[in-house]
Amino acid sequence: MKIAVLGAGAWGTALAVQACGRHAVRLWARDPQQAAQMRSLRRNQRYLKDRVLPAALQVGADLDAALEHAAGGLVVIATPMAALPQMLAAVRERLPAGTPTLWLCKGLQHGSAQLAHEIAQEVWPGGPTGVLSGPSFALEVARGQPTALVAASADPAVCQRAVDAFHGDGLRVYTAGDVVGVEVGGAVKNVLAIATGIADGMLLDGADPATGLGLNARAALITRGLAEMTRFGLALGARPETFMGLSGLGDLVLTATGGLSRNRQVGLRLAQGQPLALILVELGHVAEGVHCARSVAQRAEALGVEMPITQAVVRVLEGRWSAAQALEALMGRDARPEH
Ligand SMILES: NC(=O)C1=CN([C@@H]2O[C@H](COP(=O)(O)OP(=O)(O)OC[C@H]3O[C@@H](n4cnc5c(N)ncnc54)[C@H](O)[C@@H]3O)[C@@H](O)[C@H]2O)C=CC1
Ligand SMILES: O=C(CO)COP(=O)(O)O
């Protein structure tokens, strides 16, 4: 199969590397200098430096050439959420016959608070599109470590194309029809990973500094966070079982507890009092939870859905609350039935 991966960050590079053993893969980087460096060093020095790029992987900065390569095969949009509308518009314009297209980004659009498939409905109505999500740190996939993903689309043929492209060689690709649920899981888990990072980074008198507020607190945040994610998703029309799957509980556990998570790292450093702007510069990668926390909170509020952990993360990100104030607010809420 001919595959174009649009976006040469950590995740796009990892999936391109994974697929190029069996398919003709072309990886598009928006920066010509980065593309040239990747071709000469056979490494993505900026975003995924630990993995040598296989000789078979083509890398370039010509978007037209990448899309032409993928005609009739598969397009994978691997940019952050912010670039999704322009990427979808490019695919629609340059591949008018319609080539199956998946996005990997996890979030809600800043401002409009739209999920990815809602953007696609506007930019490319009826296009053969879907989402590929699930618990997957790029570095582990690039190293060939076992990983399970889920491809979701209203069109089963798009899911099948994702399976044909990526299933095998250490990757399992499950399929689903619940696009809303899969996208909500991927977006909200990033916000919750910031929350657990904050909790794990806080210092409490008499507690082990290595575990911050403690393991009990972390488990409570993950569980109550899952309840928030599920409430929000159900209000948007998702199916409850999706939140027990790879893109819900699976990705939440990975990102909230895994040291490789950028969103978790943001939380850990916020708890130490570091300024957000500095954290983001030093991170050098996108942390989607930072960009979408406010959109999640706004959309939840409009739907009448309570998301107290998300609200607390928004206030900490915006500098309106310290980590200690967020803790006090969450622990001070009235008692209630669990379900
Ligand atoms: N890194 C990971 O382990 C995983 C990441 N994701 C999601 O995939 C998306 C991309 O993440 P990463 O590759 O890790 O990010 P990254 O920060 O490593 O790289 C982002 C890439 O997108 C490019 N980019 C940024 N703005 C762009 C624009 N306007 N137009 C074109 N390209 C643009 C950058 O040049 C860079 O190549 C995010 O939504 C992330 O949440 C999903 C699963 C795993
Ligand atoms: O989505 C991811 C893993 O599934 C990556 O999470 P981070 O963006 O927090 O690193």
Confidence of residue 97 (pLDDT cuts 50, 70, 90): confident
Confidence of residue 96 (pLDDT cuts 50, 70, 90): confident
Query: How many angstroms does the Cα of residue 30 sit away from the middle of ligand 1?
Result: 12
* Same domain as 196, residue 134: no
* Same domain as 36, residue 6: yes
Which residue minimizes the CA distance to atom 28 of ligand 1? Answer: 83
Number of domain units in the chain: 2
What is the average per-residue pLDDT within 295-319? 98
**Closest listed ligand to the CA of 80:** 1
Ligand 1 binding pocket includes 105 (Cβ within 6 Å): yes
- Residue 338 domain flag: no
Q: Which domain holds residue 12?
A: 2-177
Q: Is 288 flagged in the annotation as binding?
A: yes
Ligand 2 binding pocket includes 133 (Cβ within 6 Å): no
* Same domain as 212, residue 271: yes
Q: Quick: pLDDT tens for 281-296.
A: 999 999 999 999 999 9
Residues 268, 274, 276, 279: is their CA dihedral positive or negative?
A: negative
* Same domain as 294, residue 172: no
Alpha helices in the chain (DSSP H): 10-19, 32-41, 63-70, 84-94, 116-123, 138-142, 156-166, 179-201, 215-235, 251-257, 262-271, 276-283, 288-303, 308-317, 323-331
131-153 in b/e form (b: 16+ CB < 10 A) is: bbbbbbbbbbbbeeeebebbbbb
Q: What is the CATH number of the domain that holds 143?
A: 3.40.50.720
* Same domain as 158, residue 18: yes
Ligand 2 binding pocket includes 137 (Cβ within 6 Å): yes
With the most atoms of ligand 1 within 8 angstroms of its CB, the residue from 286, 288, 291 to mutate is 286
- Of the three residues 177, 195, 229, the one that is the final residue of a domain is 177
Q: Are 14 and 51 in contact (CB under 8 A)?
A: yes
Q: Are 5 and 16 in contact (CB under 8 A)?
A: yes
pLDDT of 169 > 90? The answer is no
Q: Is 320 flagged in the annotation as binding?
A: no
